[in-house]
Structures are given as structure tokens and as C-alpha cells.
Chain A
Amino acid sequence: ILNVEQSPQSLHVQEGDSTNFTCSFPSSNFYALHWYRWETAKSPEALFVMTLNGDEKKKGRISATLNTKEGYSYLYIKGSQPEDSATYLCASQGAQKLVFGQGTRLTINP
């Protein structure tokens, strides 16, 4: 079983501040790295799928980077808003399935 770790487990950020968190994964047999946002009472929603070392993706105020050689990805949120409050999941893709980290629970304080 691949071991995917996310840190921190939870995070409280003041509205308007920027923040980032980490996903680490085994760099061997790497196919892709997925990020999902999971809001309370909703289904997890895909943010990014990243495959190439050095890749950087952006969606509005949220961006992510990928380092496949050392096995980590960062998710950045610029100018946090209350609607960013959610659990952010990363998952490393193996041959046929995803292995998820435990998530980072982000709370934005107004």
C-alpha cells in the first residue's frame, strides 16, 4: 500500500491571509497526483490532476505544484475566503487506483 501523508491535519487561517499545505507520497511507480476539495455535506470535488515533475496548476486563487523526484505536492490558497473552508484531500495514483491521504481540514476565520 502506498503511504500518502498530508500536513497539517487541520489549519485555521484568518480571512484574507494566504496559506499552503503539503502532500507527500512515494516517488516510485508514480502515475499522477490528484487534489480534491471536500466541503461539509457535499461530495469531494476534483481540483487538479498533475503528472509531470515541476508541474504547476492554477484554478482561481488556488494553485498546486508537484515534485515527483522527492515525492511532494503543495497546495496554495491566496487571499483565503470563508468559502475555502473545506477538507483538502490529495491522492497518489497507482496502476489502477488512488491512495488518499488523511486530508487537511481548513477553517477560514472571518
Chain B
Amino acid sequence: DGGITQSPKYLFRKEGQNVTLSCEQNLNHDAMYWYRQDPGQGLRLIYYSQIVNDFQKGDIAEGYSVSREKKESFPLTVTSAQKNPTAFYLCASTLWAGGKQETQYFGPGTRLLVL
């Protein structure tokens, strides 16, 4: 079955620790995205990537880093510089049709909690 997988479902971070959230897709989509959701707020874009080895900052990139070494994978690292990391993180992908964006498909999400 084609889809997007995220792991883990729950992640606990200690003070000063970097943690990495996994996102994998087998949809052969070009573009991938990371969003953060906080209670009462919409999805906010952290980083996105339209092609392998290239990515751009979204609206709230500070304290996060990403890589895009393979088309299928777009891991997100929450660094110790992110002072309020507790949130629900969603990964999405879309078939980038030359500037005309298609529907985004979402993974099941990872909930990050700080110990």
C-alpha cells in the first residue's frame, strides 16, 4: 500500500537533547513537508523540500533541522535550541507538478513530549 509513515508515534525528549522524527513515503512524491500543530492553532510549516538535496525554511524553522538525501525520506531533527518542542508533528508529501501544487497527503503524526 502506498502511503506516508511516521515514527515513532510518541517521543520523549530530555532537556538539551536532540531528537529525530522519521518520515518516509512510497508515493514517489517530489515534495515533502513538516508541520507543527499546537492546541487551538492551525498547522504551521517548519520546513519543506521540493527535490532531493534541497529544502527551504518554513514559517517556524528556528530550532529545527532537516535533510533530504533520498526522495522517500525527510527526517526532522528537533534540536536543543527549540525551547518549546512539545507539539504534534505532521509530515506530508505532494506530487509537485511543475509549480502547480497537488493535494498534500499526510502521515499519522508524532507527538513529542518534553520530560
A residues apposed to B, CB below 8 Å? 1, 4, 6, 9, 31-32, 34, 42-46, 49, 89, 91, 93, 95-103
Distance to closest chain A CB from B70 (angstroms)? 21
Give the distance in Å from the alpha carbon of A74 to the alpha carbon of B32 in the complex. Answer: 28
User: Which residues of chain A have C-beta atoms less than 8 A from B56's C-beta?
Assistant: 96
B residues apposed to A, CB below 8 Å? 4, 33, 35, 40-45, 48, 50, 56, 58-59, 90, 99, 101-109
Asked if B42 and A44 sit within 8 Å, CB to CB, the answer is: no
Distance to closest chain B CB from A29 (angstroms)? 14
User: Which residues of chain A have C-beta atoms less than 8 A from B40's C-beta?
Assistant: 9, 102
Give the distance in Å from the alpha carbon of A44 to the alpha carbon of B93 in the complex. Answer: 12
Interface centre among A45, A91, A96, A98 (most CB of B within 10 A): A98
User: Which residues of chain B have C-beta atoms less than 8 A from A91's C-beta?
Assistant: 43
Q: Nearest 6 A-B pairs (CB), nearest first? A: A100-B42, A43-B106, A100-B43, A46-B103, A102-B42, A44-B106
User: Which residues of chain A have C-beta atoms less than 8 A from B4's C-beta?
Assistant: 43
Given contacts A43-B108, A44-B106, A46-B103, contact A1 B50 (CB under 8 A): no
Distance to closest chain A CB from B96 (angstroms)? 9
User: Which residues of chain A have C-beta atoms less than 8 A from B41's C-beta?
Assistant: 102
